Amino acid sequence: MQVVFDVVLPVFAIVAAGYGGGRSVLGQTASTALSAFVYWFALPAVLFLSMARQPLEQIFNGSFLGAFLGSMLVVYFGGGLLGRLVGRRTWAEHSLQGLNAAFSNTGYMGIPLFVAAYGADHLLPALIATVVMSVVMVGLAVIWIELAQSAGNGIVHALRDVGRALVRNPLIVSSVAGLAWNLGGWPLPTPAVNFCQLVGAAAGPCALFAIGVFLAGRPLSLAWRKVGWMVPLKLVVQPLLAWVLIKTAFPLDPFWTGATLLLAALPTGALTFVVASQYQTYVEETSQVILLSTIASVPVLSLILVLYVG
Answer yes or no: is pLDDT of 103 > 60.
Answer: yes
Pairwise CA distance, residues 162 & 189, whole Å: 33
The phi, psi pair for 268, rounded to 5°, reads -60, 130
| In 118-169, alpha helices (H) | 124-150, 155-168
Enumerate long-range contacts of 27-32, CB under 8 Å, 24 or more apart: 28/213, 28/214, 28/216, 28/217, 30/210, 30/213, 31/210, 31/211, 31/213, 31/214, 31/217, 31/277, 32/277
Q: How many Å from the N-terminal Cα to the C-terminal Cα in the chain?
A: 11
Residues 6 or more apart from 226 whose CB is under 8 A from it?
Answer: 285, 288
Does domain 2-308 bear CATH number 1.10.20.10? no
Cα–Cα distances (Å) from 157 to 142, 243, 246, 273, in that order, read: 16, 41, 41, 28
Q: How confident is the model at residue 229 (pLDDT cuts 50, 70, 90)?
A: very high
Pairwise CA distance, residues 304 & 45, whole Å: 31
Looking at residue 51, its pLDDT comes to 78
Q: How confident is the model at residue 165 (pLDDT cuts 50, 70, 90)?
A: low
Highest mean pLDDT among 107-116, 202-211, 264-273: 264-273
Answer yes or no: is pLDDT of 109 > 70.
Answer: yes
Q: Is 268:289 a contact under the CB 8 Å cutoff?
A: yes
Q: How many CA atoms lie within 13 A of 9 on its CB side?
A: 6
Answer yes or no: is pLDDT of 158 > 60.
Answer: no
Answer yes or no: is pLDDT of 303 > 90.
Answer: no
Closest CA to 115 of 277, 4, 226, 278: 4
Pairwise CA distance, residues 30 & 48, whole Å: 26
Pairwise CA distance, residues 305 & 276, whole Å: 31
Helix, strand, coil abundance in the chain, percent, nearest 5: 85, 0, 15
Closest CA to 44 of 133, 188, 164, 169: 169
Greater pLDDT, 227 or 58: 227
pLDDT above 70 coverage of the chain, percent: 88
Greater pLDDT, 296 or 169: 296
Looking at residue 159, its pLDDT comes to 62
Report the mean per-residue pLDDT for the chain.
83
Q: Is 104:40 a contact under the CB 8 Å cutoff?
A: no
Looking at residue 27, its pLDDT comes to 75
Looking at residue 162, its pLDDT comes to 60
